[in-house]
Amino acid sequence: MKTSRVKMQRRAAWLMPAGLIACGWLLYPRQTVYAFPEFLGCFQARYQAAYPQIVGSKLTVNAPATCAPPAVPPQNCALMCHRNGVGSEDNLTRYGLDFYRKHVLQGLSIDAAFAALEGADSDHDGWTNLQEIAAVTFPGDPTDHPRSGSTVTSSVAVISDEGAGTVESTTSSVVNTGTGTGVSAQPLDGGGGAPVTLTFTDVTQPGDTSLATSATGPAPPGGFQLGTPALYYEVTTTAAYTGSITICIHYANAMFTDTANLHLLHYESGAWVDVTTSNDTANQVICGSVASLSPFLIAQLTDFTPPVLTLPGDAVLEATGPGGAVATFSATAVDDIDGARPVTCAPVSGSTFALGTTPVVCTASDTRGNTANGSFTITVRDTTPPVLTLPGSLILEATSPTGAAATFDAAAVDIVDGALPVACTPPSGATFPLGTTTVTCSSSDRRANTASGGFPVLVRDTTPPMAACTPVVLPGDKDADDHDDGAPGGLYRVTGSDAVGPLRLAIGPYALASGAVIKLAVTRQPGVVEIAKTTPSGIRRFRVGAADAFILARDGAGNSANALCPLGRDRDGDDDHERHDKR
């Protein structure tokens, strides 16, 4: 059963019986302790058990010299404690002197004396005794100490209750790291190995880089398992550096069932982060890149199940502009170990999707690199016809018998294609007949979405015709009943016109042709009476009341106009009538 260092330090308080010195469970007379080869052998055994990295080094070499009073046969002496191998109390090195005080004068056991001296600097060279022992330099010789670039290791000795020396699962080492670019450091572990290689991009100030390995540490993330044995690597440095650090760990000392799925994890801000950049399974070296140093762990990935993606179904959207339409959607992922995981989709939600079908590809990964992929489609279509802008009802005045020409504007705008041409029948500028004509218009976008519409065009005739009754003189026109009283003869030319037609001219109930010449005789009787007798020239004769001497013109639309016939001096129509009757 192992004891902790605390228990070992408590044991350091043990005092030996007066006159005796202990080495393990053996007791030796105090005054002759250095003369016994058994003690030297015990010392070396306990020393190498506490610091296994010195085995076979100069620190374990015994010098061939006398080791005590001359009466004692010559014995080998440990150079660790004696200068020049002269074994006497007045020839001790500074470390040997400190050990003498702890072990002989204070009565601490050898193991307790070792522990008590580890943090001291016996030879005052700036290095602790433990650092010098780790660097295999003499802790009692100020001229022999670790230098820049040398490796300094230290291990924690744990002494069992039975006195056997073992090494605790936590070991540490220190290596002095110099300045420069591409600087490498290989601190040793407690067993003298160098499983970790660090390569600094740029070291700006030298310092000590240390390695501590431990069997315990923060649990790996879900889906990872530790090797056998479990090894955590605590790497620190007092050197100042910039840029990244490449760390490579040789994992031959741990067993894994699947080395192809090993990952190098870095403990950052309370969580393990996978920093793996390579894994050489043939040489059993795994590497990663980091910006800081902290605990590292090699763990085997055992979870190969990706998260479960939940994606929307395929969507169909109507275009809202030339670019297509904006699509928003939600995608989620849940992992058995990590729980909810972020989902990355391309294109992202809220993007504008072009006309047509676009696949959306989504991915989600767990913290172990297992990735789920999925996709759906977004189809943007244009089924919206253009918007027609047409005039309202048009009312035109006829300008000819065929009607009137109509001009108008018609426009169409499509949400995708913008302004579009419009086709109308009849087209703008055409002549529209009298009455109402419906104009039909249509416009189509590039996807054959068609908008149709129409409006009425009314052509009407509201303009009255033109009429005239103009006096004329025709030579030789003399009827038998005309008076010779100097009157103008009562002859009139009737004319009329209309832009549309047809036109009817009349005096009273009697139709007249435009251009006809009539002869009017005024009577006191109202109304119009055609006299049957006409002149040889065919001039029609009418007896009219003064108020009825006008020409009425009426067109086909019912528009009418009157033209007064300018009459001469009044005549006695009755006498004339009587004379006409007598004849």
| pLDDT the model gives residue 253 | 85
Q: Are residues 496 and 537 in the same domain?
A: yes
Asked whether the beta carbons of 14 and 106 are under 8 A apart, the reply is: no
Whether a cis peptide bond, with omega within 30° of 0, leads into 526 is no
- 349 and 248 in a common domain: no
Residues facing residue 181 across a β-bridge: 202
H-helix segments, 104-157: 110-117, 129-134
pLDDT given at position 15: 44
- Of 348, 381, 414, the residue that ends a domain is 381
H or E element at residue 519: strand 517-523
pLDDT at position 570 is 46
d(CA 198, CA 248): 7
Cis upstream peptide for 464 (omega within 30°): no
Domain that holds residue 393: 387-460
Last residue of a domain, one of 277, 301, 325: 301
Shared domain check, 46 and 158: yes
User: Within 10 Å of residue 99's Cβ, how many Cβ atoms?
Assistant: 25
- Domain final residue pick, 328, 353, 381: 381
Place of tokens 């129509």: 573
Task: Identify whether residues 137 and 158 lie together within a single domain.
Answer: yes
- Per-residue CA distances from 106 to 76, 91, 113, 540 (Å): 25, 19, 9, 173
pLDDT given at position 74: 46
Q: For residue 63, what pLDDT is reported?
A: 52
- Same domain as 9, residue 95: yes
Residue 157 and residue 28 share a domain: yes
**What span, in angstroms and rounded, lies between the C-alpha atoms of 36 and 34?**
6
CATH number at residue 357: 2.60.40.10
Please classify residue 479 by burial: count the beta carbons closer than 10 Å to its beta carbon, then call 0-12 exposed, 13-18 middle and 19+ buried: middle
What is the residue whose two structure tokens read 């976008």?
Answer: 445
Spell out a b/e string for 439-464, using b for 16 or more CB atoms within 10 Å of the CB, else e.
bebbbbbebebebebebebebbbebb
Query: Which pLDDT score, from 0 to 100, does residue 87 have?
Result: 52
Q: What b/e sequence results for 210-226 when a residue is b if at least 16 CB atoms lie within 10 Å of its CB, and e otherwise?
A: bbbbbeebeebbebbeb
Residue 300 DSSP symbol? E
Q: Are strands 540-545 and 528-531 parallel, antiparallel or unpaired?
A: antiparallel
Do 350 and 205 belong to one domain?
Answer: no
Six token digits for residue 389:
């802008």
Identify the burial level of 373 via C-beta atoms within 10 angstroms of its C-beta, where 0-12 means exposed, 13-18 middle and 19 or more buried.
exposed
Mean pLDDT per 10-residue section of the chain, whose length is 583 residues: 35 43 50 50 75 76 51 54 59 79 80 85 78 82 63 38 35 76 87 86 93 90 91 92 96 91 94 94 95 93 94 97 97 95 98 98 92 98 97 96 97 97 98 97 97 98 96 71 48 94 94 93 92 73 92 95 81 40 35
* pLDDT value, residue 284: 94
At 68 the pLDDT is 46
Are 375 and 500 part of one and the same domain? no
CATH of the domain at 263: 2.60.220.50
DSSP letter (8 states) at residue 579: H
Our count of domains for the chain comes to: 5
The answer to pTM > 0.85 is no
Which contacts (CB < 8 Å, 24+ apart) does range 215-218 have?
215/169, 215/170, 216/169, 217/267, 217/295, 217/297, 218/267, 218/272, 218/295
What's the half-sphere exposure (Cβ side, CA atoms, 13 Å) at 86? 9
In this structure, the answer to whether residues 151 and 178 fall within a common structural domain is no
Residue 13 sits in the same domain as residue 141: yes
Which residues lie below 8 Å from residue 82, measured CB to CB, with a gap of 6+? 63, 65, 67, 88, 91, 92, 93, 96
Contacting residues for 327 by C-beta, under 8 A, at least 6 apart: 315, 317, 349, 350, 351, 353, 378, 380
**Do residues 318 and 440 both lie within one domain?**
no
Q: Which residues of 52-66 are buried (b: 16+ CB within 10 A; e: fewer)?
A: bbbeeeebbebeebb
Residues 103 and 231 in one domain: no
